Amino acid sequence: MSTLQERLAALSPARLLGMRRGIEKESLRAQPDGSLALTPHPAELGSALTHPHITTDFSESQVELITGAHTEVEACLQELIRIHQFTYRALKDNDERLWVSSMPCGLPADETIPIGRYGSSNVGRAKSVYRMGLAYRYGRRMQTISGIHYNWSLPEVTSEQYFGLIRNFRRHAFLLLYLFGASPALCSSFVAGRAHELQPIGEGSMYMPHGTSLRMGRLGYQSDAQASLAVSYNSLDGYGASLEDALTRPWPAYEAIGIQGPGGEYNQLATSLLQIENEFYGTIRPKRTIFTGERPLHALRERGVEYVEVRLMDLDPFEPVGIQASTMRFLDVFLMHCLLSDSPNDTPAEIAELARNQHLAAARGREPGLQLARNGREVTLTNWGLQLIEQFGPIAAALDAAHGGTAHADAVRAAAAALRAPDSLPSARVLAAMAQAHGNSFVSFVRARSEATRKHLMGLPWAEHEHAHFEQMTQDSILAQKKIEEGDTLPFELYRQQYVSADRLGLRRRAALTSTL
């Protein structure tokens, strides 16, 4: 603890005030009856390829809203609210709303879930082909799960320090699943034809009685191929080598799918274990802003880690934009603790242990006395969580001293109280609300929350200059997409080959350097 406090004391208030965070929030577009909206991405929202704040994720029906990076939590949250306000106005004519749960609304047959479309440019076609590959590899239903990604950075942090943060984050991620998981139930259409451990509850609904985040459990982003990966986070070089292997290693099941079908249509970008870097699923990623056309792995290798992307946060259906300020402040404290604490190297045994802990916390997190593994020994989730939260106090105090007020300490105190009162957790509140007013129906509950959220956000003040600003971004994005399409010169197949080539990962350059040593 003294080491953590010494590192904390070495941080100047100016550096703490330089902490930046941004949000990427996914949501399905749903019809009033709780079924998936199959309409194209609304033209009023501009180009999904080039709009800086509004795009789509896997599906044409899955909106992704993106803030900039902010040094103030409230500023970040206010921007997210404004983006929502504009988006809801664009959905009004079709009488659609954003689905406020991480687990999807009522889904049609898998093959009818529309894949995102990004125009006729090479980069736009590549984005769609990549998604087609995901559909073949994992199924379209799995890709309709939505969440919040929390992008975070602190000035003057090295790649080595960020990887230390990531290792600790993975060790302690169970606490975030427990405190903020909000997907203990789902519509049975999501698991139709799949093996699962869920129990029936209400009409057309399934659940885990003590579940916190089914999204982050075995029903979420899982595959046999990715299960074969044991990626180490001990260094940028080691992480890069693991990704490099997955991006270049042929995978028989994907080779059987092929790049193109018999009619010449594209099935996927590559037949390797991963098509591109983004296909590697994890609770947290090291990130670096990329140049146009650059591969993410190349950017990391060349310029190091710029920020981390936290990927395990569920949408909170009780919050208008899926997350609240106190949760963001707790995340800031949590990430600071991960950064400042000692972070020994991971091992294959620990990597396996952490995967088991994640699945237990996601599926059974609120189970009384639930035991997790810590360095080969059993410890109760709540005791481990309370031990961690006790260490958060000095960090919260330092952030409050820099910002003024007690907001960070309040967030930590609220988390400690929630840890002792599992019925107050979002996952428990979801099940309670389903039981009290919706006959234990997941779709009925989320429909009601989605409609209440739509009315709330549509009722907030909305200035004409804000609307004009977003409309201008819409038009600018459409023009930007057209410019990209007009500037293309390469045939798509040549573009695809060049993009997925080993050269783009820096492989030949690294091999040449190695041969000269």
* DSSP assignments along 381-405, one per residue: HHHHHHHHHHHHHHHHHHHHHHH-S
Task: Indicate the pLDDT class of residue 508, thresholds 50, 70 and 90.
Answer: very low
**Domain range enclosing 425:** 2-516
pLDDT digits (tens, 9 = 90+) for 367-380: 999 999 999 999 99
- Sheet strands (E) in 89-140: 97-98
Task: Indicate the pLDDT class of residue 513, thresholds 50, 70 and 90.
Answer: very low
For 372, list phi and psi in degrees, rounded to 5.
-110, 170
pLDDT digits (tens, 9 = 90+) for 171-222: 999 999 999 999 999 999 999 888 899 999 988 999 999 999 999 998 876 6
Average model confidence (pLDDT) across the chain: 94
Beta-carbon contacts of 468 under 8 Å, excluding residues fewer than 6 positions away, are none
How far, in Å, CA of 178 to CA of 313, rounded? 11
How far, in Å, CA of 480 to CA of 478, rounded? 5
Task: Check whether 270 has a pLDDT greater than 60.
Answer: yes
pLDDT digits (tens, 9 = 90+) for 395-414: 999 999 999 999 999 999 99
Which letter does DSSP use for residue 213 in this model? B
* Res 149: pLDDT: 98
* Res 181: pLDDT: 98
Task: Check whether 317 has a pLDDT greater than 50.
Answer: yes
Task: Indicate the pLDDT class of residue 231, thresholds 50, 70 and 90.
Answer: confident
- 8 Å CB contact between 26 and 57: yes
The b-or-e profile of 243-276 (16+ CB within 10 A means b, else e) is bbebbbeebeebeebebeeeeeebbbbbbbbbbb
Which residues on neighbouring strands pair with residue 319, listed in sequence order?
none
> Once rounded to an integer, what is the mean pLDDT over residues 102-123?
96
Task: Check whether 515 has a pLDDT greater than 50.
Answer: no
pLDDT digits (tens, 9 = 90+) for 479-503: 999 999 999 999 999 999 999 998 8
* Res 222: pLDDT: 64
> Once rounded to an integer, what is the mean pLDDT over residues 334-345?
98
Q: Look at 228 and 346; give whichever has higher pLDDT.
A: 346
* Res 232: pLDDT: 85
Listed residue (46, 150, 27, 182) closest to 97, CA to CA: 27
Listed residue (41, 462, 361) closest to 371, CA to CA: 361
How far, in Å, CA of 239 to CA of 292, rounded? 23
Distances (CA, A) of 56 to 28, 53, 148, 254: 9, 10, 14, 25
pLDDT digits (tens, 9 = 90+) for 208-229: 999 999 999 988 766 777 777 8
Type of residue numbered 274: L
Structure-token match 């929030």, residue found: 25
Type of residue numbered 345: N
Backbone dihedral region for residue 369 (phi beyond 0: left; psi -120 to 50: alpha; all else: beta) = left
* Res 2: pLDDT: 59
- The terminus-to-terminus CA distance of the chain in angstroms comes to 42
Percent of the chain with pLDDT over 90: 91
* Res 36: pLDDT: 97
* Res 245: pLDDT: 92
pLDDT digits (tens, 9 = 90+) for 23-49: 999 999 999 999 999 999 999 999 999
Task: Check whether 167 has a pLDDT greater than 60.
Answer: yes
For 340, list phi and psi in degrees, rounded to 5.
-90, -20
How far, in Å, CA of 285 to CA of 233, rounded? 10
Q: What is the CATH number of the domain that holds 90?
A: 3.30.590.20
Here the tokens at position 268 are: 């996927």
Type of residue numbered 455: K
Beta-carbon contacts of 433 under 8 Å, excluding residues fewer than 6 positions away, are 445
Here the tokens at position 18 are: 């330089």
> Once rounded to an integer, what is the mean pLDDT over residues 142-150?
96
How far, in Å, CA of 276 to CA of 5, rounded? 40
Is residue 15 helix, strand or coil? helix
* Res 514: pLDDT: 44
What is the tally of structural domains in the chain? 1
Here the tokens at position 30 are: 């749903």
pLDDT digits (tens, 9 = 90+) for 444-476: 999 999 999 999 999 999 999 999 999 999 999
pLDDT digits (tens, 9 = 90+) for 232-265: 899 999 999 999 999 999 999 999 999 999 999 9
